[in-house]
Structure 1
Amino acid sequence: MTASGEADHRLLEELVAGLTRSAASAPAAGEPREGAAAAVAGVDRPGHHRATALAGSTALCAEDGSVLPEGSPEVTSVEAGTLFDMASVTKVVTALTAATLIEDGMLDPETPVAEYLPSPHPAITVRHLLTHTSGLPPVMPLWTIDGDRDTRLAAVTRAQLDAEPGTAHSYSCIGFILLGSLLEGLTDTPLPELARTRVLDPAGAMTAGWSPSELDASRAAATEYQDDPPRGLVRGSTHDETAWSLGGAGNAGLFATLDDALALGRVLAGRGPGPTLSAPVRALLTSDQLPAEVGTGAPWRQAFGLRVGQETAPGAVLPRVVGHPGFTGTSILADPGTGTVATLLTNRVHPHRTRFTVDRARRELALIAFA
């Protein structure tokens, strides 16, 4: 390992060890603190310079927040093959899938969504969905709607708008659920299968996918004890309640290992393997796509499905870095200019979403990899 690789490895080990050590000693109540029961991190640089680190256990706490006793069957050590619920990092894969269809001439980002599927909002285009400017609401409690998947998707298409399409940026899981449904209808293929053939397998993310089998679920890091809906400890099943109620959805539901996440990051960095994308289509994914008068309300800007710019400290941004975070405590980052990739995978929502955060760790990872 090179000197830079050894430095990366040492810093990553300190990062994940700090998160898991904090989780093991955190009180059950109070303000959220930096920590996660399970954590893995990696930095992958061109020229086979790669460093990874892992720490913690796939489960740590009982529902009341107390630490599970040693020897509990739920508690297994984190390994390189541990699966993490990627939450909204799923949007990266959905956006890449859409990009391959744009590349093939099957999908036009300027076309109204109503030309692809029933919609009462003729002004919403595919571009609006991919840039979170559709005006659709951020979330909807679809699990409370009686009926099957089609019934719940119909409710998504009928959702009332919070703003006129194209006039404001508002992060919307509902928009990406609609996008996933559109891709399914366009290709007559379920999104998990479509993403598998167009993105995941070509990228070499061979163990990534939606809804792990029962065998693989035992390798998944536990997420949250949920009361609404009453699911108990969620493990190997999609944490996001809305996506879970739909099965395969475009906003969340992907599971991946450290190797899978780095493989997807290499696609974003433009150094494959992966789907072949022309420079104009790749630019849609890696450069700001918002009108000048539309802001995100954050230091980063918005590409097709990806954020452009990564904070290293409050107010300090690396503008060339693209990627996306996930609510469960995951993130993938890439610098298309240098080819460097970084990922942090945690289950910071275990045992409850208000207990831990990994905001500082994400900034530290960006400093290690890109600064």
Structure 2
Amino acid sequence: MDVMQELRTIVDQKMAPGVSAAWLHDGVAALTVYGEATWQPTKTPLHSGMLYDLASLTKVIGTTTVFLQALDDGRVGVDDAISGYLPEFHQPTTFRQALTHTSGLEGYIPHRDELPPKALRQALITQLKVTGECDHKVVYRDVNLLLVGWALENIYGRPIQALIQQRVLSPLGLQTATFAPDPSRCVPTTYSAAAGLRRGVVHDPKAAILREHSGAAGLFAGLDDLICFSEFAFARRHADAWPQSFATILRDETTNQLGRSLGWDLRRDAGGRLWLYHTGYTGTFWLIQPQLQESLIVLTNRVHPKPNMAFLAKRDELITNFMAAHS
């Protein structure tokens, strides 16, 4: 399987304007920057080094890594109730359940995306209840990592995005990763005649409201930043800030073996090895296999000018084929 050629078909089949990707394997990095940055209102070129709205990759680069640091520091336990660190939250949800998306939290918040920041935070903390799905089903929800982020805020006394910058991005040398990007360096997301071009402003509506208190989305970064993070996962790079507990992350952390680690999804290849996996709504996805020292990093803006649903099936097919090629 020529994975880089397959990735270029995302652009050729008009599922996203452009793709920036890296395949790290056998000690080398195969790179591609292909296509355009925008189609509308005009076509603009895609350049190496441009920053993407990572969407939910924020969860694994940022919030999960800070949690693992807190775990190393003895500040928190995986099976501690979040309510012990976030007193306003009255559900029995543990960090394990939140980080594996097996919390079963569910509920309806009217006009959620129109609420001001404090009201949205309060609603997410108080209006969701644990259902019978808890520990029995993986239901991916942003609120799980938002709650973890708010608990970490109380542990360390700073907004979660400031913690991610201070404890992860800066000490690991992720030089262009930021929550406050220069729009001119960013690959735009959506466009409409009424709203204009969204560039350098987070696409996710909850993250846009919560701003520095969102640990679920909001991070912008370039391909080099994710390559750097992957090399820390391989233990090729070293820094005091890198959590020692990451060494045990490649295992199922759910109560009923549902295929999630702390923060990360898990995928199994044809050889039976587990890989860390995560996606982002804007068109990002990422695989890491630390023992093989292999990673596939894919950044696109499949939401330009509006979300392309065909992209999702193409992404899943590509991942299936990639896993099947590893025996």
Q: TM class by shorter-chain length?
A: 0.7 to 0.9
Structure 1, unpaired ranges of 5+: 1-6, 24-34, 63-67, 69-74, 296-300
Partner of 2:221: 256
Using the size of structure 1 for normalisation, the TM-score is 0.78
Q: Distance in 2 between matches of 1:192 and 1:44?
A: 28
Cα distance, 1:178 vs structure 2: 1.4
8 Å contact kept, 1:137–1:172: no
| Distance 1:138-1:96 versus aligned 2 partners, 3 A rule | farther
**1:115 matched to which residue of 2?**
84
**1: CA distance, partners of 2:268 / 2:121:** 33
Q: 2:114 aligns with which of 139, 144, 167?
A: 144
CA–CA distance in structure 2, aligned partners of residues 250 and 150 of structure 1: 15
Deviations 1:257-297 (A, max 9, x none): 0111112222334433353333xx225532101122x63xx
1:307 aligns with 2:265: yes
1:17-36 to 2 correspondences below 5 Å: 17-23=8-14, 35-36=15-16
Name which of 196, 206, 223 aligns with 2:175.
206
**Aligned pair partner of 1:244 in 179, 201, 208:** 208
Tell me, yes or no, if the aligned pair for 1:131 and 1:290 is still in contact at 8 Å: yes
In structure 2, the partner of 1:338 is 292
Q: Among residues 116, 138, 152, which one is paired with 1:183 in the alignment?
A: 152
Task: Indicate conservation of the 8 Å contact 2:10/2:311, yes or no.
Answer: no
Alignment partners' CA distance in 1, 2:313 and 2:171: 31
Q: Deviations over 1:325-363 (max 9, x none)?
A: 111110121102211111000000111114541543465
Paired letter, 1:256: A
The residue type paired with residue 57 of structure 1 is E
Alignment root-mean-square deviation, CA: 2.7
- Size of the aligned set, in residue pairs, is 320
The answer to whether structure 1 residue 276 and structure 2 residue 256 are counterparts is no
- How many percent of aligned residue pairs carry the same amino acid? 28
What is the DSSP-based 3-state SS (H/G/I as helix, E as strand, rest coil) of the residue aligned with 1:96?
helix
Distance 1:317 1:45 in 2: 16
Runs of 4+ in 1 over 4 A off after TM superposition: 138-141, 316-319, 365-370
Q: 1:355 to 1:112 in 2, by over 3 A?
A: closer
1:129 corresponds to which residue?
98
Matches within 5 A, 1:64-83: 68=42, 75-83=43-51
Q: For the structure 1 residues 139 and 306, does the alpha-carbon distance in structure 2 shift closer, same or farther, using more than 3 Å as the test? A: farther
Name the CA shift for 1:124/1:190 in 2 (closer, same or farther; >3 Å).
Answer: same
TM-score by length of 2: 0.87
- Cα separation, partners in 2 of 1:182 and 1:333, compared to 1, 3 Å: same
Identify which of 120, 138, 141 aligns with 1:169.
Answer: 138
